[in-house]
Amino acid sequence: MRILVADDHDLVRETIAAYFDASDIDEVMTVASLDEAVRAAEETGTFDLVLLDYSMPGMNGLDGLAEMRQANQGRPVAILSGTASPSVADAALKAGAQGFIPKTLAARSLLTAARFMAAGEVYAPLEFMRGRDQASGTLTRREMDVLRGICEGKANKEIARSLDLQEVTVKLHVKTLSRKLEARNRTHAAMIARDRGLL
pLDDT above 70: percentage of residues in the chain: 91
In this predicted structure, the answer to whether residue 128 has a pLDDT above a threshold of 90 is no
In this predicted structure, the answer to whether residue 133 has a pLDDT above a threshold of 60 is no
For 119, phi and psi rounded to 5 degrees? -80, 0
In this predicted structure, the answer to whether residue 129 has a pLDDT above a threshold of 70 is no
In this predicted structure, the answer to whether residue 127 has a pLDDT above a threshold of 70 is no
54 and 77, same structural domain? yes
124 and 164, same structural domain? no
174 and 152, same structural domain? yes
Quick one: three-class SS letters along 96-160? Answer: CCCEEEECCCCHHHHHHHHHHHHCCCCECCHHHHCCCCHHHHCCCHHHHHHHHHHHCCCCHHHHH
Q: What is the pLDDT of residues 68-116, one digit of tens each?
A: 999 999 999 999 987 777 778 888 988 999 999 988 888 888 898 999 9
Mean pLDDT of the region 130-134: 49
Model's pTM, two decimal places?
A: 0.66
Domain end among 114, 131, 148: 131
Q: Which domain holds residue 167?
A: 138-195
| Burial bucket for residue 45 (CB in 10 Å: 0-12, 13-18, 19+) | exposed
In this predicted structure, the answer to whether residue 132 has a pLDDT above a threshold of 70 is no
161 and 111, same structural domain? no
74 and 41, same structural domain? yes
169 and 73, same structural domain? no
Give how many domains the chain has, as a whole number. 2
Q: What is the pLDDT of residues 45-71, one digit of tens each?
A: 999 999 999 989 999 888 999 999 999
165 and 84, same structural domain? no
Residue 192's identity, in one-letter code, is: I
Task: Flag the least confident range among 27-31, 122-126, 135-139.
Answer: 135-139
Q: Which has more confidence, 180 or 147?
A: 147
Q: Please count the other Cβ atoms lying within 10 Å of the Cβ belonging to residue 184.
A: 11
CATH number at 98 reads 3.40.50.2300
Q: What is the per-residue pLDDT for 49? A: 97
95 and 19, same structural domain? yes
99 and 173, same structural domain? no
123 and 84, same structural domain? yes
For 164, phi and psi rounded to 5 degrees? 60, 50
42 and 124, same structural domain? yes
Distance, CA of 182 to CA of 37 (rounded, Å): 39
Q: What is the per-residue pLDDT for 134? A: 39
Domain end among 99, 131, 163: 131
99 and 162, same structural domain? no
CATH number at 157 reads 1.10.10.10
In this predicted structure, the answer to whether residue 136 has a pLDDT above a threshold of 70 is no
Mean pLDDT of the region 1-8: 95
Domain end among 77, 102, 131: 131
